[in-house]
Amino acid sequence: MKKIYLIQPTYRDQDGNLLKGKRLYTVSLALPALKAAIPPDWEAESCYEYFDDINFDSDASVIGISSMAYEIFRGIEIATEFRKRGKLVLFGGFQPHICPDFVRPYADSIIHGNPGRKDMVAILKDIETGLLKPAYMTESDLNFLFDYSILDHRRLLFTPVLTSVGCRNHCDYCCIASLYKGAYRLRKLQHVLDEIDALSRTTRRIAFVDTNIYNNREYLQRLCEAMIRRRYRFIWGAQSTVDIGDDPETLALLKKAGCRILYIGMETIEQANLDGMNKHYRIDTYPRKIENIHRAGLRIAAFFMYGLDGDTRETAADMSRFIIDHKIALPMLNILVPTPSTPMFERLKREGRVLMKDEQEFLKNNIGYNASFTLCFYQPKNMTPAEVEDGFIDLLGRLSGYRQIIRRSVSGDLPLTLFLLYSNWLFRKEYLELKRRRGMKTTVNSMEVIPAGE
């Protein structure tokens, strides 16, 4: 039967529990893109496992599993079960691309890149003729309308929209950079606008899920101008690099087009840390950029990493003060995770500073769906791994008080205030759960060190 079953796995928490729920902030657009790329003579079924149970009795002959990151191990479980049932398994997504050895024993083929319609026709034709290759290198073709019919807007706080893949930066810690190597590809603006037109009839809440919506200034301005002309009533957010803070013209267009919050990777408050990760920005310009974004009427959710080489036991207090003083609406905090295949991981490994039993431990570093990375799997320069883990809990605690949550969340926009209150409440909940677990679990600083050069 010419039928493919597309699956976005969930994953297991640190206790081995399969994470399920009724609602998420947003989801990946991998399945809507893949389903739209399937040729019409093939039937396609899909499943977001976080919401729904997988139908292991599906009559599909081909199983397509998409993994962004740590779902890869649940994906392996799923692949193993389907192959027992005689199905062909295709693996795709960021994680299988950068760590193909993890999935190669469990996949009939690994699909690299973002396969478009031409690629999917070729792959499925090879399956029909019995000539399936063990791997396919595809172009990043996303210039077609995605199939949004498989998304349930009631299950999403924000419906995802995509204008580009990749990023013009090449930061050493970033798995996106290791895949796209400082390049990006834009979708045709008309496709994006056609999708937004359709979404305007079903929801007012969207999120642009690009790695960096500020990849191309002219494109972003054209997008905003079109949204303004069409008088959409969306409330939305997007991820951007911090340099957008020196672009008042684009900030004004963003606000007028309905943007209310920007997710910005600031990463650290120490310039030496930025320099050491190949991120070419100046921290002494952060206050000005933040003020410009706030002046434009936009709020900031800022990503920070804790435990970098320039960090010390005083960093938790300093970083929390920076977040408070600069009125960051939603702090997105993680302990540094040097992901396999990234330049940062390779450097730490050469220096003999990677701590773990095996590389798979990196992808099991979570206490809940989309939760922070909370374990230290490397040897920092100025702290022990245990001090990093304790300091991270201290950092979360400094920002988790009810007064802090209310101050960060309240704005003149009621829907935005409610979203921020909910998100900051989850921040506090995560802190309390992590603090509880810290009293029960041993740390990873007793793990073996992977010797330099291995």
* Chain segment 156-186, per-residue pLDDT in tens: 999 999 999 988 998 888 878 777 888 899 9
Q: Are 226 and 341 in a shared domain?
A: yes
With cut-offs at 50, 70 and 90, classify the pLDDT of residue 15.
confident
- Inside any domain, residue 110: yes
**Which whole number is the average pLDDT over 378-400?**
95
Cα–Cα distance between 315 and 333 in angstroms, integer? 13
Alpha-carbon separation of residue 25 from 28, 256, 426 (angstroms): 11, 23, 12
Read off the CATH number of the domain in which 18 is found.
Answer: 3.40.50.280
**Which whole number is the average pLDDT over 422-430?**
93
Q: Are 53 and 173 in a shared domain?
A: no
The pLDDT tens digits for 83-119 are 999 999 999 987 777 778 888 999 999 998 889 999 9
Task: Give the per-residue pLDDT at 453.
Answer: 38
Q: Are 336 and 424 in a shared domain?
A: yes
Q: Are 120 and 164 in a shared domain?
A: no
Task: Give the per-residue pLDDT at 357.
Answer: 72
Cα–Cα distance between 90 and 101 in angstroms, integer? 14
With cut-offs at 50, 70 and 90, classify the pLDDT of residue 442.
very low
Cβ atoms 383, 311 nearer than 8 A: yes
- Inside any domain, residue 418: yes
Task: Give the per-residue pLDDT at 450.
Answer: 38
Task: Give the per-residue pLDDT at 80.
Answer: 96
- Inside any domain, residue 453: no
Read off the CATH number of the domain in which 227 is found.
Answer: 3.80.30.20
- Inside any domain, residue 371: yes
Cβ atoms 385, 376 nearer than 8 A: yes
- Inside any domain, residue 450: no
Residue 350 confidence (pLDDT) above 50: yes
Alpha-carbon separation of residue 257 from 7, 191, 201, 210, 409 (angstroms): 34, 18, 17, 17, 22
Task: Give the per-residue pLDDT at 360.
Answer: 62
What are the residues whose beta carbons fall under 8 Å from the beta carbon of 89, sequence distance 6 or more?
Answer: 62, 63, 65, 79, 82, 83, 106, 107, 108, 109
**Strand 354-355, strand 235-240: pairing:** unpaired
**Strand 184-186, strand 259-267: pairing:** unpaired
* Tokens, residue 345: 């991981």
With cut-offs at 50, 70 and 90, classify the pLDDT of residue 297.
very high
What is the length of the chain? Answer: 454
Q: Are 391 and 289 in a shared domain?
A: yes
Domain hosting 125: range is 3-137
Maximum average pLDDT range among 23-27, 310-314, 369-373: 310-314
Task: Give the per-residue pLDDT at 436.
Answer: 86
Cα–Cα distance between 277 and 266 in angstroms, integer? 12
Domain boundary among 94, 110, 137: 137
Task: Give the per-residue pLDDT at 356.
Answer: 76
Residue 362 confidence (pLDDT) above 80: no
Q: Are 385 and 245 in a shared domain?
A: yes
Q: What's the number of domains the chain is made of?
A: 2
Q: Are 181 and 125 in a shared domain?
A: no
Residue 188 confidence (pLDDT) above 60: yes
Task: Give the per-residue pLDDT at 134.
Answer: 95
The pLDDT tens digits for 30-69 are 999 999 999 999 999 999 999 999 999 999 999 999 988 7
- Inside any domain, residue 382: yes
The pLDDT tens digits for 220-233 are 999 999 999 999 99
Place of tokens 């809990």: 393
Residue 454 confidence (pLDDT) above 60: no
Task: Give the per-residue pLDDT at 418.
Answer: 93
Domain boundary among 113, 137, 161: 137
Q: Are 331 and 211 in a shared domain?
A: yes
